[in-house]
Structure 1
Amino acid sequence: MNRKQRKAEQRQYRAMASDSANAKRWMTPDSFQNFEARVGLGTPNQASAYQYGFDFISRNRVQMEAMYRSSWIVGQAVDVVAEDMTRMGVEIGSDIAPEDKDKLNQEFENLAIWDSLCDTIKWARLYGGAIAVMMIDGQDASKPLRLDTIAEGQFKGLCVLDRWLVQPTLNDLVTEPGPDLGMPKFYDVVADSMALPRQRIHYSRVLRFDGVTLPYWQKIAENLWGQSVIERLIDRLVAFDSTTMGAAQLVFKAHLRTFKVKDLRKILAAGGPALEALLKNVDMIRRFQSNEGLSLVDADDEMQVDQYGFTGLDAVLLQFAQQLAGALQIPLVRLLGQSPAGLNSTGESDLRTYYDNIKQQQERRLRRALNVLFEVMFRSVLGTKPPEGFSYDFRSLWQMTDEQKATTANTITDAVTKAVDASLLTPAGGMKELRASSHHTGVFSSITDEEIKEAEDQPPPAPETELPPDVDDPNDGSQAPPKPGASQRPGASVRNAVAQDRAAGGRVGRWLSAWRSRRGADDRAAA
């Protein structure tokens, strides 16, 4: 598409937006109206003169960047959600070898995948859209991505480009049925980009994120991009900043001084020595005023000091801050670092609601991109495609206390121990479960693959029907009748031995004790 066609399309989009803005507005009345009292919409009152207009500040890149750099509220609005969406990573829950999980997690860190995703979401929220290009060594970026052609070590990470560094092909859209139907087929990188300049990138190699999803016609007006999150709250942001600066200016008026001078108009009209004497008098008062409140005035003059009250300003500022928090769906305790007021208010309920919202955004906006990433990462790191039933979950943002972690660790350990004793898990499987839970409990992360392999090589324990070597066979010796009060059931000593074994913690309990002893001995030897 040449420059003339591009300009013609832009003029067409502007005309459509102008027609939409200037379209005839039909008045929608309230359910209650009183024309005599002029109450309700549709009656001749001030409320009926309302009008909502377009801001279109998402198209002003320089203004958005100035707001992001100079306003800490805008910085928090853009950064907080993106950082929380990528802060804890994911927990791979499929039946994959622990060493393969470690390799995948390590490659995520080495290639800074989470940092790149965080930056992509940030610029999508700031500008309205951004893409992350999957850099696969040795492949043409303009060709469709074929997963079977990815070899080990070929994936080199993500290249983040915001909406102003790429030009989507608006006349060449995806026509294949699927989630990308109607989206641009290619993205042309502009010449100003330091990375991948003047390259054409196929949509299958792109992880795309939009800011605020727009309706169809508004998306057309934005070149198929979304809207900046700042555009929705610009009026509340201006109100908050104006109120804050107004309150700051009132500090200079905390002490209002009034100086009454006899015949002031005559002195100003006459000028000359009288006016000079007045100015010297005022300068003398300001020069020799001290913290003790000393003021030198003429006996015929009068000095009056008035104090300004700031009562109620904090409540006004708090209301504007709450409107900002509501517009961004970020609680005050996370947006401003301000704890809520009230008795026994800690902000935990607000944070839990906010974390639920982050979870919803992760599922809606981040999971599809991660699905593609895992397809590429498995082939590049492990040399194979993901196994059947591959799944992962986003780790919880809510951090447990040390007491809660200890309780959770005990609960998981007891459950694994019972499962191994009931032959539902092997000892090696129990060790894998304990190590997999280390992200939640904070313990058992030091279980090594060698220890798991050693547990797999151990022979299975003897069935409980066999007698332990230190237990006498009840069938040996004379078959004398039991004494009064003794147990009449045969094999009681066997069951007692089994019960004692279970009371001692079972096989996993004994293994844990031995494992702790070996770890303690190693630590003492290292010390």
Structure 2
Amino acid sequence: MAKKKLKRSRSGQDLKQRKVDALEARNRMNQQLMQMVQGLRNKQDQAPYQYELPQIMPGVIPEGQQSAIAMDCACSGIASWVNQNPQFYGGFLGYPVLAQMTQSSDYRAVPETTAGEMVREWGKVKVVGDGDDELSDRIQRLEKRLKELGIRDLIRQLIETEMIFGRAQLFINLKGQEAESNLPLLLKANHIKKGDLIGFKLVEPMWTTPSLYNSTDPMADDFYQPSKWYVLGKEYHSDRLLTLVMRPVPDLLKPAYNFSGISMLQLMQPYVERWQRTVDAVSDLIHAFSLTGLKTDLSDILAGDDTASSTILRTELFNLYRNNLNTLLVDKEAEEFFQINTPLTTLDALVRQAQEQMAGPSHTPLVKLLGITPSGLNANSDGEIRVYNDYISSQQEAHLRPIIETILRVVQLDLFGEINESVVFEFNSLHQLNDEQRANVNKTKAETAVMLTSGNLVSTEEARDTLAKDETGDYSGIDAEDVPDWEGLNSENPESETDHAA
């Protein structure tokens, strides 16, 4: 009896000990798990910050000088705060990476398309208000000079470079001002004389970095706007560099982007990588969409003896004669042939969707960017094209007009020694009518003019003046006051009187 009680007592103690051991083991596991989580957190905290100062190309900053980057001591703190949450963009990619991206047609498509569209119809120099013969001659000379300087192609390259790197600049090259490069450029006759303009030069952003700017007064106009730049060891005033930044970053991130904007290639990177990954996966899937197998005796291979060579020989024989022109022979009792095919019916839709997403960051219609036309009954891209044209027009006015107006002022000083404020540049409409549409519009205008003059609502001179001022019509520029004398013409040529009356 005593032995049974002792035995039950020991079993109870063993059970309690097991519970204690299990509890200790669970506590150890919880401690290990907490240590693992804490280690991961520490690793993330100690990870290098992605928002850091850009690496400036050698030779840009003069020897013994430093780049004027404000808030450089706060960049690590900014980065630790910004990088807390997942994001598409981990900071400035760097000029070498962006330059390497341009070797891919997937990345180049958007900058080339957008730059081409923004100068596709270009524009013209015109006079605001009533002009005279002197201004008409001046307009012709300005148009000729702009064509000689290749301004249209320079603007196209400027836009393309900005979309690739986030910033692009045009240098105003003037005679005899090499020693004054760090001084402001005044658009006045006593500062730019006739014949001083040599031309304009495109400068890519990897060769420049700010040397001076205001970082203390947010109310000032030049706050975080560089007033001077280092260009390969030489200092230039910002007046001499026409800077284009179409997608600026907040002041908080400007030092990390070398005072550039976000590159369009950087905005496209997530979408292009998804597209390329999808295409590669589909290509691999198509390449091996069918899995072919042979069920046979593998006992000799699994046994590991010398007879495994017979199975290997059988496999090689199977692969050697495996095509549609040969006959497959299998052992009826010991072997079985099987094939598993992956369905490919929806791959085209997946590829198309991944490709279409690349057009999102640039607001470019698929028919413009990729040449993909809408499918379906009565489907067309007219609405998308009109919306895109409106977007391009807004970009022209917001980003190109200030640069072109400055160029026009410099060219006026170079040609005439003065600036006429009534001479302006106007972008042509991106939506152009075809011949049939233009003919219908002109017909409607002519019928309207006839109705107004026959109803004595306007005079013939007023109708001619309207036709002369209509730059889209075929009679633009005619002399409104030189009204033909039909009565005199008919008296000299009586045979045409009946035709004129008709």
- The answer to whether TM tops 0.5 is yes
Whole-angstrom CA distance in 2 between matches of 1:8 and 1:150: 32
Aligned partner of 2:349 in structure 1 is 315
Secondary structure of the corresponding residue to residue 361 of structure 2 = helix
Please state if 1:87 is matched with 2:117: no
Contact 1:152 1:383 in 2 (8 A): yes
Counterpart contact for 2:124–2:143, Cα < 8 Å: no
State the match for 2:73 in structure 1. 12
Q: Cα–Cα, structure 1 residues 10 and 413, in superposed 2: closer, same or farther, change >3 Å?
A: same
Shift, 1:80, TM fit: 1.8
Matches within 5 A, 1:104-115: 104-115=142-153
**1:215 and 2:276 correspond:** no
- 8 Å CA contact 1:133, 1:207 repeated in 2: yes
Deviates more, 1:299-308 or 1:207-216: 299-308
Amino acid paired to 2:160: K
Note if 1:141 corresponds to 2:181: yes
The whole-number CA distance in structure 2 between the counterparts of 1:350 and 1:408 is 23
- Is contact 1:281–1:297 with CA below 8 Å preserved after alignment? no
Aligned to 1:21: 82
- Match of 1:212, SS state, is coil
Q: C-alpha separation between the residues in 1 aligned to 2:268 and 2:492?
A: 78
Partner of 1:66: 100
Please give the secondary structure, in 1, of the residue aligned with 2:171: strand
**SS of residue in 2 equivalent to 1:69:** coil
Identity of aligned residues (%): 23
Aligned equivalent of 2:412: 378
Residue in 2 that maps onto 1:229: 264
Secondary structure of 1:327's counterpart equals coil
1:166 maps to what in 2? 208
| C-alpha contact 2:115 2:159 (8 A) present in aligned 1 | yes
- 2:321 maps to which of 277, 280, 288: 288
Cα distance, 1:290–1:98 mapped onto 2, change above 3 Å: farther
Tell me how far apart the structure 1 counterparts of residues 69 and 427 of structure 2 sit (CA, whole Å).
Answer: 45
- For structure 1, list consecutive stretches of 5 or more residues without a partner in the other structure: 24-50, 191-197, 473-496, 505-527
Partner of 1:523: none
Maintained 8 Å contact 1:56/1:231 = no
1:333-352 matches, cutoff 5 A: 333-352=367-386
Q: Pick closer, same or farther for the CA change 1:470–1:401 going to 2, 3 Å.
A: closer
Alpha-carbon offset, residue 13 of structure 1: 5.0
Of 88-97 and 240-249, more deviation after overlay is shown by 88-97
Q: Report the counterpart of residue 19 of structure 2 in structure 1.
A: none
Which of 224, 236, 245 is equivalent to 2:280?
A: 245
1:255: which partner in 2? 290
Aligned residue number for residue 358 of structure 1: 392
Aligned to 1:199: 234
Contact 1:285 1:297 in 2 (8 A): no
Find the aligned partners of 1:173 and 1:217 in 2 and give their Cα distance: 11
- Whole-Å Cα distance in 1 between the matches of residues 275 and 400 of structure 2? 32
SS at match of 2:360: helix
> How big is each residue's C-alpha offset from its partner over 1:92-126, in whole Å with a ceiling of 9 and x where there is no partner?
34255555434333333322212111112222122
Q: Which residue of 2 aligns with 1:118?
A: 156
> Is contact 2:412-2:419 (8 Å) kept?
yes
The alignment partner of 1:169 has SS state of strand
- Partners of 2:277 and 2:114 lie apart in 1 by 25
Q: CA deviation at 1:407?
A: 2.4
1:69 shift after superposition: 0.9
Q: Tell me the SS of whatever aligns to 2:226.
A: coil
For 2:418 and 2:216, the matched residues in 1 are separated by: 29
What is the distance in 1 between the residues matched to 2:194 and 2:72?
A: 48
- Confirm or deny: 8 A CA contact 1:259 1:301 kept in the other structure: yes
In structure 2, what is the Cα distance between the partners aligned to 1:372 and 1:112? 15
Change in 2 beyond 3 A, CA 1:146/1:337: same
Residues 210 and 226 in structure 1, CA contact (< 8 A), matched pair in contact too: yes
SS at match of 1:156: strand
Aligned-pair distance for 1:225?
2.0
Kindly state the Cα deviation for residue 177 of structure 1 after the two structures are TM-superposed: 9.3
Q: Distance in 2 between matches of 1:469 and 1:175?
A: 80
Structure 2 counterpart of 1:129, which letter? Answer: R
The Cα of 1:208 is off from its aligned counterpart by: 0.8
Within 5 Å, give how 1:254-273 maps onto structure 2. 254-262=289-297, 264-272=298-306
CA contact (8 A) 1:321 1:332 kept: no
Q: Does 1:400 align with 2:396?
A: no
RMSD of the TM alignment (CA)? Answer: 3.9
TM-score w.r.t. the length of structure 2 is 0.72
Asked whether the equivalents of residues 82 and 122 of structure 1 are also in contact (C-alpha less than 8 Å), the reply is yes
Kept in 2, the 8 Å contact 1:132–1:206? The answer is yes
1:329 aligns with 2:363: yes
Asked if structure 2 preserves the Cα contact closer than 8 Å seen for 1:57 and 1:231, the reply is no
User: What's the offset of the Cα at 1:247?
Assistant: 0.8
* CA separation of 1:90 and 1:76: change in aligned 2, threshold 3 A: same
Give the whole-Å Cα distance in 2 for the aligned partners of 1:321 and 1:471. 69
1:290 deviation in Å?
A: 3.2
Deviation, structure 1 residue 232: 3.0
Residues 211 and 12 (structure 1 numbering): CA distance in 2 closer, same or farther, change over 3 Å?
Answer: farther
SS of 2:184's equivalent in the other structure is: coil
Q: Partner of 2:228 in structure 1?
A: 186
